[in-house]
Amino acid sequence: MTAKALIIAGYGINSEEETALGFERAGFDASIRHINDLAENPNELKDIQALSVPGGFSYGDDTGSGNAFAQKMRLTLGDALKDFVARDTLTIGICNGCQIVVNLGLAPACDGEYGARQVAVTHNASARYQCRWVDLGVENSNSPWLQGLSSLHVPVAHGEGRFMMDDSTLKMLQDNNQIALKYLKDGKPANGEFPFNPNGSTDDIAGITDESGRVLVLMPHPERGMFTWQRDDYANLKDAARRNGQVLPEEADGLALFQNAAEYFGVNQMKKAG
């Protein structure tokens, strides 16, 4: 047996297959579930260890990205979601999933206020969709998703990725170590500089967690940077490895998040135990 991961799909979510692949690679038993099927049986969540709301364009980003799908989840899943995050589970919202989970109020949920919208993820400062690779610094975070990681090279692809909040919320996030990921330029803070910070996000924020760190939301896409051949510098890495007579490692930064999740649940031990 192993831990179970559920990946939500439907209504324009589009990264469910890559996300499921990440969980599977890490050893999870991963299933993709259409939101309407989950709505018919929200109790399924009781049997799940890791939940992902993947990237995509749910409802075409109409009425504000993530807003519409969050409303759908709120109305159809009810308390099942809050019950899920209250258990010792892991949740990851990626890109559109980040926007949805934030709109559901499952992150940052400062002061344990799950369900309250405390931050907004809104239109890029450039008002333009940006698809490019970025460097992320892993901040001092208690998140199981990020243990042992210091930086990540992964892509972003979004039109609305700018974290915005009032100053008191920002201070709370900083004080509680809930800012998990920040955009970097050459290993140092991007300080809002485009394109290193691709969206003008407050304090270079790329991802945040709830207070427990078990709910992680991030705009960049770890599931699109799991293999070396997916990297924007693949041709250079490949060439350097060939010259030096080395074998290019297959795995890239993004996979580590899924492996961390597997580690958290002791997936390997579970598998050994059968």
Partner 1 sequence: MVQRIEVFTLSEDGRAKTLEDQFRKTGKNIDQIRIVDVYTIEEGIKDGQSLKDCLKSFTNPVTQKAFVLEKGQAPANDYIETAGDFDWALEIGFLPGVTDNIGHTASELTALTLGRDKTLYSSQVVLIKGALNESDVKELAATIHNPLIQSASNKNKEQFVTDGGMNAIIPRVVLDNKGAAIDPVDLNVSDEELITIGKEGIANEDGSRRGPLGMSLLYMQAVQEYFKSEGRPATDVELETLAQTWSEHCKHTIFASPIDEIKDGLYKHYIKRATSEIREARGSEDFCISVFSDNSGGIIFDDNWMITDKVETHNSPSALDPFGGAITGIVGVNRDCLGFGQGAKPALNRYGFCLADPRKDLEYYRGKNKMNPTLSPNTIMKGVVAGVESGGNQSGIPTPQGFMYFDDRYVGKPLVFAGTVGVIPREINGKPSHIKSSQNGDRILMIGGKVGRDGIHGATFSSVALDEGSPATAVQIGDPITQKKFMDAIVKEVRDLGLYSAITDNGAGGLSSSVCEMAEGCGGFKLAIDKVPLKYPGMQPWEIWISESQERMTMAVPPENVAQIQSILEKRGVESWDIGEFNDSGRAVLTWHDETAMNITMEFLHDGIPETPLTTTFTRGGETEPDLTEPEDYAQTLIDMMGRLNICSKEFVAAQYDHNVQGSAVLGPVQGKGRVFTEATVSRPVLESKHAAVLSQGLAPRYSDIDTRDMAMAALDSSVRAAIAAGGDIDHLALLDNICWCSSDEPERLGQLKRAMEAIYEMAVHYRTPFISGKDSMFNDFRGYDADNNPVTISVPPTLLVSGIGVMEDTAHAVSIDPKAAGDFVYILGETKDELGASEYYDHRGVLGNNVPVTDTALNYTLYQALSKANKQQLCASAIPVSFGGLGVALAKKAIAGQCGLDIHIESDLRLDKLLFSESQGRIIVTVAPNDKEAFETIMGDYPHVTNIGTVTDNNSIIINEVQADIDKLDHAYKATLGDY
For partner 1, give the closer residue by CB, 6 or 68: 68
Q: Considering Cα of 213, then 219, then 224, then 225, what sign does the dihedral take?
A: negative
82-107 burial, b if ≥16 CB within 10 A, otherwise e?
Answer: eebbeeebbbbbbbbbbbbbbbbbbb
**In contact, 26 and 261? CB cutoff 8 Å:** yes
Residues in region 129-168 near partner 1 by CB under 8 A: 129-132, 155, 157, 159, 162, 164-166
Identity of the residue, 125 or 270, whose beta carbon is nearer to partner 1 in the bound complex: 125
Q: How far apart are CA 34 and CA 8, in angstroms?
A: 6
21 vs 172, beta carbon nearer partner 1: 21
* Residues present in the chain in total: 274
**Among 46, 87, 128, 171, which residue interacts with partner 1 (rule: CB under 8 A)?**
128
95 in active site: yes
| Interface stretch with partner 1, choices 56-64, 82-90, 207-215, 263-271 (CB under 8 A) | 56-64
| Known catalytic residue at 110 | no
Give the position of tokens 């050994």.
272
18 is an active site residue: no
Closest distance of CB 167 from partner 1, Å? 12
User: Is residue 109 within the footprint of partner 1 (CB under 8 A)?
Assistant: no
Window 75 to 104, contacts with partner 1 (CB under 8 A): 75, 103
Using CB under 8 A as the criterion, what x/- string covers residues 244-273 for binding partner 1? ------------------------------
**Distance between CA atoms of residues 239 and 246, nearest Å:** 10
CA dihedral 102, 108, 109, 111 (to 10 degrees): -160
Contact pattern for partner 1 over residues 178 through 217, marking x by CB under 8 A: -----------------x----x-----------------
Spatial neighbors of 116 by CB under 8 A, at least 6 apart, are 105, 109
Catalytic pick from 18, 95, 98, 160?
A: 95
Query: What six digits make up the tokens of 126?
Result: 């450039």
67 scored as a contact of partner 1 (CB under 8 A): yes
CA–CA separation, 78 vs 69, rounded Å?
13
10, 66, 112, 176: CA torsion to nearest 10: 120
CA distance 187 to 87: 36
- From 17-25, 41-49, 82-90, 142-150, span contacting partner 1 (CB under 8 A): 17-25
Q: Which residues in this chain contact partner 1 in the complex, by CB under 8 A?
A: 9-15, 17-18, 21, 34, 36-37, 55-57, 59-64, 67-68, 70-72, 74-75, 103, 117-120, 122-132, 155, 157, 159, 162, 164-166, 195, 200, 221, 223-224, 226-227, 229-230, 232, 234-236, 238-240, 242-243
Q: Give me the active site residues, please.
A: 95, 221, 223
